[in-house]
Amino acid sequence: MHAFLFDLDGVLVDTARFHFLAWQRLAHQLGFEFTETQNEALKGISRMDSLEIVLKTGGIQATNEEKLRYAEEKNAYYLRLCSEMTPADVLPGVLNFIRQARERGILIGLGSASKNAGTILDHVGLRPYFDTIVDGNRVRKSKPDPEVFQIGAADLGVLPGSAVVFEDAVAGVEAAKRAGMKVVGIGDPAILKEADRVFPNFEGLSLTQLEELAAETK
Ligand code: BG6
Ligand code: MG
């Protein structure tokens, strides 16, 4: 294991919940229901691609101008929800895990579809822990395309086979697999079926538990 690439939303911080609440609010404004189950398909997906899925769910036709307005409104509300975040909002066990990894000389990267990733990292004080940050401003193709993780590994100078990705999204797990990396799912094993290992969160997760995974060759 030479590098860890972390997704942000739903892995390091609970912003996946804020994304859901912001899309749900837009759906309500447009007059339809949007559930947590439907939201699962949006995880890891870019803002505009997510909007298309949300509008399709509600059977809404919109002009390009309206779409841009909806995306802006969703983002403004999302950022309002995020504005109160502090270092206390880093998910349990994350900081310990990252510190352990850094002590072992493992390089740390971020691989997120979010254009707000830098802002969130600053709110919660995580930026100094990262050797590289690849966010939605740097990628052209969103997950499940492997680009975000390929750029991350290239930035860190490691081969895909030496990188482990941490993901909470089905699209993110697929992206990591397509990049030829090992994937640790954070969340529900029934949803993250393609991940090599799944843990509910980082609490109690130690590097030792991942050594076996690193040794596996596929
Ligand atoms: C991903 C989230 O990390 O970022 C998605 O899982 C989100 O839900 C995407 O749509 C883009 O985020 P943003 O902050 O650029 O709208
Ligand atoms: Mg995520």
Is the domain of 101 the same as that of 196? yes
pLDDT at residue 217, rounded to an integer: 61
Indicate which residue's Cα is closest to atom 14 of ligand 1: 114
Tens-digit pLDDT profile for residues 101-119: 999 999 999 999 999 999 9
- Pocket mutation for ligand 1, best pick of 46, 51, 72, 167 (most atoms within 8 Å of C-beta): 46
* Cα(215)–Cα(13) distance, integer angstroms: 29
CB 7 within 8 A of CB 135: no
Longest dimension (CA), the chain: 52
168 is catalytic: no
Is the domain of 58 the same as that of 9? no
Mean pLDDT throughout 180-203?
96
* Cα(155)–Cα(177) distance, integer angstroms: 19
Counting atoms of ligand 1 from 1, which one is nearest the CA of 143?
Answer: 1
CATH number at residue 43: 1.10.150.240
- Which ligand has the minimum distance to the alpha carbon of residue 44? 1
Is the domain of 119 the same as that of 198? yes
Name which of 199, 201, 204, 216 is nearest 91 in CA terms. 201
Tens-digit pLDDT profile for residues 122-176: 999 999 999 999 999 999 999 999 999 999 999 999 999 999 999 999 999 999 9
7 is catalytic: yes
* Cα(139)–Cα(151) distance, integer angstroms: 8
Q: Which range marks the domain in which residue 54 is found?
A: 16-82
- Domains held by the chain: number: 2
CATH number at residue 103: 3.40.50.1000
Indicate the pTM of the whole model. 0.94
Counting atoms of ligand 1 from 1, which one is nearest the CA of 44?
Answer: 6
Indicate which residue's Cα is closest to atom 8 of ligand 1: 43
